Amino acid sequence: MKKTLYIGFFLSALCLLPFACRRDTSAIEPDNYQAATVLVQKWHELLLELERHTPGYRPPVTARMWSLVELAAWQAALPGVPEAIGLEKYLDGLPDAPTYSGLYNLPAGLNAAYAEIFRQFFPTAPPHLFEKIELLETEQLNQIKSQANPANLAQSIAYGKKTALDIWRWSATDAFGHEGFLFNFDRGYVSPECTGCWKPGGAHPMPALLPYWGKSRSLLVAPSTVEVTPPLAYDEKPGSPFHVQAMELFAMSKPLSNEHRWIAEFWSDDVPGLTNSPMGRWISITNQAVAQADLPFPQLLELYLKAAMASTDVMVICWKSKYAFYLERPEAYIRRVVDPNWTPLHDNPPFPSYPSGHAAIGAAVTEVLTAFLGESFPLTDRTHEGRTEFIGKPRTYSSFREMARENALSRLALGVHYRMDCDEGLRLGKLVSKRVTALPCRKQDARISWSR
């Protein structure tokens, strides 16, 4: 009798086990991680296309947009990633993630969040590209419907969309950063008159680019907590430290070697429409790296989030510093002091020189990639493969830091930055990224002490 009861109890338990497992894990749907990973990659491919062709997406604006895209994705994934922590406790004024109960379709929620936040950030995209947002949303949703349990599908979609809209409304509380793609240049901005100070000029003079971006909202690392090293004292005397910095560029250009030209053009990314912005370039590198690494989905989402947030904060710090030190570009200095006929490989950008934004965002993304993927990670950057307008032949690197250093020093070969600009940009990017990378985003890390 006891044996019969035991067998009956055991069989009952076996019958109940799937339901017990379902109660514990159905709201998580770990089987959806693979589908969610593919979906994330698809949306990031479209992100690069939109960023390249939509007016107004220069590095600081792109960095901020990228952060809010990743933040929307992170918050939208919370019901489906049990170890993830909502970020409202870290970001001032960020609304709490909506509550959710029941079965959550992770790919459906993410798909809706990406589509909605893209629509908000790219209303000025060329019509055929804006239509791709809806086309990709529909394509992914059709796949989700055919492969996943349809239970609570509408609820999951509504959750993802609401999360994205909450992020967009929070964006609107940042007076200096919100919709930055609409106001790149300030034609009313007046440059200070002083020797060695930047002012619009060069072969194709443009008004100041984003002169007040340093007042836009930082996410995790406030500019007041970062000490920026001042540039070398301005000096036109031959042999002075400042003059030596300029002469390094001048000597490198007489003549520019084939290798230096390749490096300069490979990393330039300074032509809107023709290339992605320098920030978009590092999104491309991140896409290539995560595709090669095959990360678990939660880590994939966290990597994108932290790379984006580090980029955003270092751009705020960098731009605040640019319009504080107000250092003129090498082109103006060399033409006035060394050779009036000197021409850089590329027009100098319409904003002050120090520190280098290229170097800063490269280092910021690099430190996140290194933290997640390791000190040694061979990668061939194919961002510009097949381009004929410039030297875009792929280059292979043994580590992300090697890429960041070459990206920074390419600015010397291009003739648009002094070495000190690049060195300080690298330092700032690394410093900011280290603090962002340490942010505890998972419940297992919740006890880690962290502060802005």
Closest CA to 171 of 61, 47, 63, 68: 68
pLDDT given at position 11: 35
DSSP letter for each residue of 156-218: HHHHHHHHHHHHHHHHTT-TTTTTGGG--EETT------TTB--S-SSS--PEESTTGGGSPP
Number of other CB atoms surrounding residue 128 within 10 Å: 8
Question: Is the model's pLDDT at 58 over the cut of 90?
Answer: yes
Taking the C-alpha atoms of residue 176 and residue 208, their distance in angstroms, rounded to an integer, is: 15
Number of other CB atoms surrounding residue 441 within 10 Å: 20
pLDDT tier at 294, thresholds 50, 70, 90? confident
Taking the C-alpha atoms of residue 323 and residue 352, their distance in angstroms, rounded to an integer, is: 7
The share of the chain scoring above pLDDT 70, in percent, equals 91
Beta bridge partners of 397: 379
The answer to whether residues 283 and 51 touch, using CB atoms and an 8 Å cutoff, is yes
pLDDT given at position 32: 85
pLDDT given at position 262: 96
Question: Is the model's pLDDT at 409 over the cut of 70?
Answer: yes
Question: Domains in the chain and their CATH numbers?
Answer: 29-171 (1.20.144.10), 188-445 (1.10.606.20)
pLDDT given at position 358: 97
**Cβ density class 296-330: b for 16+ within 10 Å, e for less:** ebbebbbbbbbbbbbbbbbbbbbbbbbbebbbbbb
pLDDT given at position 26: 37
Tokens of residue 364, six digits: 């910021």
pLDDT given at position 295: 92
Taking the C-alpha atoms of residue 206 and residue 114, their distance in angstroms, rounded to an integer, is: 34
Segment 293-310 mean pLDDT: 96
Phi, psi of 225 (to 5 degrees): -95, 0
Tell me how far apart the terminal alpha carbons of the chain are, to the nearest angstrom: 66
Question: Is the model's pLDDT at 16 over the cut of 50?
Answer: no
pLDDT given at position 147: 77
Taking the C-alpha atoms of residue 155 and residue 83, their distance in angstroms, rounded to an integer, is: 21
The share of the chain scoring above pLDDT 90, in percent, equals 82
pLDDT given at position 452: 66
3-state secondary structure of 275: strand
Taking the C-alpha atoms of residue 223 and residue 377, their distance in angstroms, rounded to an integer, is: 31
Q: Give the Cα-Cα-Cα angle 289, 292, 298 (nearest 5 degrees).
A: 75
Provide the 8-state DSSP code for 384.
T
Report pLDDT digits (tens) over 330-341: 999 999 999 999
Question: Is the model's pLDDT at 2 over the cut of 70?
Answer: no
Question: Is the model's pLDDT at 18 over the cut of 70?
Answer: no
Within 8 A by CB and 6+ apart from 302, the residues are 74, 84, 372, 441, 442
Compute the mean pLDDT over every residue in the chain, rounded to the nearest whole number.
91
Report pLDDT digits (tens) over 357-392: 999 999 999 999 999 999 999 999 999 999 999 999
pLDDT tier at 4, thresholds 50, 70, 90? very low
Taking the C-alpha atoms of residue 217 and residue 223, their distance in angstroms, rounded to an integer, is: 10
Closest CA to 342 of 258, 251, 216: 251
pLDDT given at position 450: 59
Report pLDDT digits (tens) over 266-288: 999 988 889 999 999 999 999 99
Rounded to two decimals, the pTM is 0.91
pLDDT tier at 449, thresholds 50, 70, 90? low
